[in-house]
């Protein structure tokens, strides 16, 4: 389940292998991703030199000397480095072949991921309306508090809204609300200013620790270096329904909010 820490882990994993190389070719085997892969993408990227690998929200931005490849991992996507002649599996939907003899390979069993080309990625319709980066300077408790005034939606769905703040998916939303001691069912508009300060800190803390652990691997996430993420061991509530809270021993509960499972501790989170 790639959320911000997993995408960042992937970014760091592939960066040393691809920056400074030139794109020899692009091979798309299945164009049916979340949005159809544009037929011209191979020609736009072929021959270009890769200058950097960035990240905006959960999008990887592979910047070349003439335009940027935008890659989203969706739910089950992975990017990793292989040799040119490595045989492709059925879910290996595209390769970016590099002049180094390696390829950046994209694997995504459920095809919720995406692959675009853009001259100006931040102006792309899918990226232009995104909220601030949670680890950036324009994100803090007062920002969340301002944005939440008048909002009836529960605070868990509120912080998962990419127009509010990016990168906080289902795992880290549950985790940060636990760390902040906030009940996920509470209306966003009814969370006090001071509690948003605590929540913003919790979001930053959990994302930072998850990045340092290489992300969370529940089933099928592997970083660009092929290593799973180890943050699962630090999860306090996510996927722990029926287990005991490590702080107060209360049984962790699971509820459904916005068609997604939320995990929380009834006594630590009020």
Which residues are at the interface with DNA (CB under 7 A)?
A: 1-3, 32, 34, 57-58, 72, 74-76, 90-91, 109-112, 125-126, 150-153, 160, 162, 166, 169-171, 219, 258-261
CB 94, CB 26: distance < 8 Å: yes
CB-nearer residue toward DNA: 74 or 134: 74
Q: Are 208 and 4 in contact (CB under 8 A)?
A: no
Question: Shortest gap between Cβ of 207 and DNA (angstroms)?
Answer: 13
Give the containing element (helix H, strand E) for 238: none
CB nearer DNA, residue 39 or residue 129: 129
Shortest separation between residue 21's beta carbon and DNA, angstroms: 27
**Closest by Cα among 6, 8, 22 to 102:** 22
SS3 category, 64: strand
58 as an active site residue: the answer is yes
Quote the least distance from Cβ 1 to DNA, whole Å: 4
Is the CB of 1 or the CB of 182 nearer to DNA? Answer: 1
CA angle, residues 57, 144, 53, in degrees to nearest 5: 15
Q: Which is nearer to DNA, 1 or 81 (CB)?
A: 1
Instruction: Give me 186's structure tokens.
Output: 């509470």
Closest to DNA by CB, 51 vs 161, is 161
Sole residue written with tokens 């200013």: 193
Pairing of strands 78-83, 50-56: unpaired
The catalytically annotated residue of 151, 185, 232, 260 is 260
DSSP code at position 233: G
C-beta of 102: minimal distance to DNA in Å? 26
Q: In the annotation, is 260 catalytic?
A: yes
If the CB atoms of residues 22 and 185 are measured against DNA, the closer one turns out to be 185
CA distance 143 to 134: 11
Choosing from 11, 48, 58, 240, the catalytic residue is: 58
Sheet holding 92-98, edge to edge: 23-28, 92-98, 102-107, 78-83
Minimum CB distance to DNA, residue 111 (Å)? 5
Helix (H) or strand (E) holding 226: none
Structure tokens at 155: 């605070």
Residue 158 · residue 249 · CB < 8 Å: no
Please report how close the Cβ of residue 84 comes to DNA at its closest, in angstroms: 25
Q: Is 151 a catalytic residue?
A: no
- Given 3, 8, 175, 236, which residue is catalytic? 3
Question: What are the catalytic residues?
Answer: 2-3, 58, 260
């Amino acid at each position: 389940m790639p959320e911000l820490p997993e995408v960042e882990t992937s970014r760091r994993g592939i960066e040393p292998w691809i920056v400074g190389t030139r794109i020899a070719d692009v091979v798309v085997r299945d164009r049916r991703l979340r949005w159809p892969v544009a037929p011209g993408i191979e020609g736009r990227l072929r021959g270009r030199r890769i200058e950097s690998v960035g990240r905006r929200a959960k999008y990887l931005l592979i910047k070349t000397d003439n335009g940027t490849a935008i890659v989203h991992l969706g739910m089950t996507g992975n990017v990793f480095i292989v040799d040119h002649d490595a045989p492709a599996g059925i879910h290996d939907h595209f390769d970016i072949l590099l002049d180094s003899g390696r390829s950046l390979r994209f694997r995504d069993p459920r095809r919720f991921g995406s692959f675009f080309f853009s001259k100006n990625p931040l102006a792309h319709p899918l990226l232009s309306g995104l909220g601030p980066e949670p680890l950036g300077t324009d994100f803090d408790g007062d920002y969340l508090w301002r944005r939440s005034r008048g909002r009836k939606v529960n605070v868990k769905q509120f912080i998962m809204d990419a127009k509010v703040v990016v990168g906080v998916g289902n795992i880290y939303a549950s985790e940060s609300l636990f760390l902040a001691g906030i009940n996920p069912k509470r209306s966003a508009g009814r969370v006090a200013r001071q509690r948003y300060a605590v929540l913003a800190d919790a979001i930053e803390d959990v994302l930072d620790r998850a990045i340092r652990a290489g992300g969370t691997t529940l089933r099928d996430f592997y970083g660009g270096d092929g290593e799973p993420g180890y943050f699962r061991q630090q999860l306090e509530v996510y996927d722990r329904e029926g287990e005991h809270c490590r702080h107060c021993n209360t049984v962790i509960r699971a509820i459904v909010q916005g068609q997604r499972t939320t995990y929380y501790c009834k006594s630590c989170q009020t």
